[in-house]
Amino acid sequence: MVKICCIGAGYVGGPTMAMIAYKCPDIQVVVVDISASRINAWNSDRLPIFEPGLDDVVRSCRGVNLHFSSDVESHVADSDIVFVSVNTPTKTRGLGAGKAADLTYWESAARMIADVSTSDKIVVEKSTVPVTTAEAIEKILTHNNPGKHDFQILSNPEFLAEGTAVADLASPDRVLIGGRGDTEGGRKAIAALKAVYARWVLEDRILTMNLWSAELSKLAANALLAQRISSVNAMSALCEAMGANVSEVAYAVGKDSRIGPKFLSASVGFGGSCFQKDILNLVYICECNGLPEVANYWKQVVQINDYQKARFVQRVVSSMFNTVSGKRIAISGFAFKKDTGDTRETAAIDVCHGLLGDKAQLSIYDPQVTEEQMRRDLAMAKFDWDHPQHLVPSSPTAASGQVAVAWDAYAAAKGAHAVCVLTEWDEFKKLDYQRIYEGMEKPAFFFDGRNVVDVDALRKIGFIVYSVGKPLDP
């Protein structure tokens, strides 16, 4: 029986391995992590991540051919295929700080694989990594395990989106397998991984290619997706200035079959652990390879995103008579998108920091984010583009006194001067806004950073409404 081990039981490692186990009952899958609390949660009734449909998939094979363990080394030792799905965050200090990917976790995983292996292995890059990382991994593996075992490195980047991970994994647009097709060992490794995915993915959706193309394709896909959002967000500023409606413009533009309708929703800005990190990584790679113009092009995608978040805060403050000091503002939604509890790089952090900086009192509600997580995020340091050598800490003491966490959207808005929607949770479309209006200070402001509410209906109730890229209040 083939044994697969995955190092890293996070948002990618957990769901992807659960899907492999679910689709391949004859393969033993073990997911390992250095975080014992994460492993305990995977083995409990409350999984460490919220993802629609994931509970059912995990429950159906956990304890049968899917296992979660913190005994990292012993499971890696005798596996045939080792996926590495550890975090690859942006470096915060040293060379390339603020842009380059931090490969510390990857390197330590690779050294451990070399040390403990008792058989030949296929090592699969599941994490998103800089182009040519496979070469570095190969050096670490072969130099630390000289002549004992054969290691074939494959790149198999993950394209799932949080919130729809289970559906994305069950029916992926494509699966990329990058490897050394010019060697016999490489061809065998590619075939072995292809055979795993071929159990449920159509053959024409499994693309094999060279290692560098696969590594770069992942960065390119995220850069292009984020670029679409920044493009439509840049257009939203123009729409507001001209009295146009960004939803109508995006609909019209998306009808062009060369452009298509997806990823054209204007918003307060993109978040998540990947888009910004992967573009910064691309910027760094371009700069290191003597391509400053290309680097600047991609940097703009992140800068427009920062501008959009700052623009939103400015709009809130200027609409509310140029100050939010001492005013209560309800924040509806803190996760970076709906259907996830993930808050990494969420636009809500920057918006809240901006409002707290003007001395607002915040009452925050999100259906999936815990109070502890919100407080941790708001106390976090923030990268400063203008002074890239610095990380600017927000003030945790100010934040804790100015922040309350509410148990629902009604409680958050009670006594508030304004509501800001920062995550597009479906429940925000169906709230009783008449009731919310009645409980608020007047004039009652509504700032929709996700274009989820019916602007006309809210204006009829009496709200003063701002919705990103929409004509302003008459």
Binding interface with ligand NAD (CB under 6 A): 7-13, 32-35, 38, 72, 85-88, 105, 108-109, 127-128, 158, 160, 162, 273-274
Q: Is 409 annotated in some ligand binding site?
A: no
Q: Is 411 annotated in some ligand binding site?
A: no
C-alpha distances in Å from residue 212, one per residue of 154, 159, 278, 439:
10, 17, 15, 57
Residue in the shown chain whose Cβ atom is closest to ligand NAD: 10
- Smallest gap from Cβ 112 to ligand NAD, in A, equals 6
In this complex, which beta carbon is closest to ligand NAD, that of residue 111 or of residue 205? 111
Active site residue 61: no
Please state, as a whole number, how many other Cβ atoms lie within 10 Å of the Cβ of residue 37: 9
Q: Is 286 annotated in some ligand binding site?
A: no
Question: Coil, strand or helix: which one is 5?
Answer: strand
Q: Is 28 annotated in some ligand binding site?
A: no
Contact between residue 270 and residue 226 where contact means Cβ atoms under 8 Å apart: yes
Strands (E) in 288-365, as ranges, are 328-332, 361-365
- Smallest gap from Cβ 418 to ligand NAD, in A, equals 31
CA distance 337 to 450: 10
Q: Is 8 annotated in some ligand binding site?
A: yes
Q: Is 275 annotated in some ligand binding site?
A: yes
Contact between residue 160 and residue 126 where contact means Cβ atoms under 8 Å apart: no
- Smallest gap from Cβ 107 to ligand NAD, in A, equals 9
DSSP 390: -
Q: What residue has token string 């001492």? A: 326
In this complex, which beta carbon is closest to ligand NAD, that of residue 273 or of residue 305? 273
In this complex, which beta carbon is closest to ligand NAD, that of residue 41 or of residue 461? 41
Strands, sheet with 175-178, edge to edge from the N-terminal-most edge strand:
66-69, 28-32, 3-7, 81-84, 121-125, 151-155, 175-178, 206-209
DSSP H helices, 145-257, are: 165-170, 184-197, 211-242, 246-254
CA distance 64 to 389: 49
Q: Is 410 annotated in some ligand binding site?
A: no
In this complex, which beta carbon is closest to ligand NAD, that of residue 221 or of residue 420? 221
DSSP string across 159-190? ---TTSHHHHHHS-S-EEEE--TTSHHHHHHH
Q: Is 13 annotated in some ligand binding site?
A: yes
Minimal CA–CA distance to 11: which of 144, 157, 204, 163?
163
- Smallest gap from Cβ 274 to ligand NAD, in A, equals 5
In this complex, which beta carbon is closest to ligand NAD, that of residue 32 or of residue 283? 32
Contact between residue 241 and residue 161 where contact means Cβ atoms under 8 Å apart: no
- Smallest gap from Cβ 138 to ligand NAD, in A, equals 18
Q: Is 128 annotated in some ligand binding site?
A: yes
In this complex, which beta carbon is closest to ligand NAD, that of residue 274 or of residue 360? 274
CA distance 183 to 384: 45
Q: Is 138 annotated in some ligand binding site?
A: no
Contact between residue 422 and residue 332 where contact means Cβ atoms under 8 Å apart: yes
Among 5, 274, 352, 420, which one carries the catalytic annotation?
274
- Smallest gap from Cβ 97 to ligand NAD, in A, equals 18
- Smallest gap from Cβ 400 to ligand NAD, in A, equals 25
CA distance 330 to 107: 43
Question: Coil, strand or helix: which one is 256?
Answer: coil
DSSP H helices, 89-164, are: 104-116, 133-144
Contact between residue 434 and residue 344 where contact means Cβ atoms under 8 Å apart: no
* Active site (catalytic) residues: 274
The binding site for NAD(+) comprises 8-13, 33, 38, 86-90, 127-128, 162, 274-277, 344
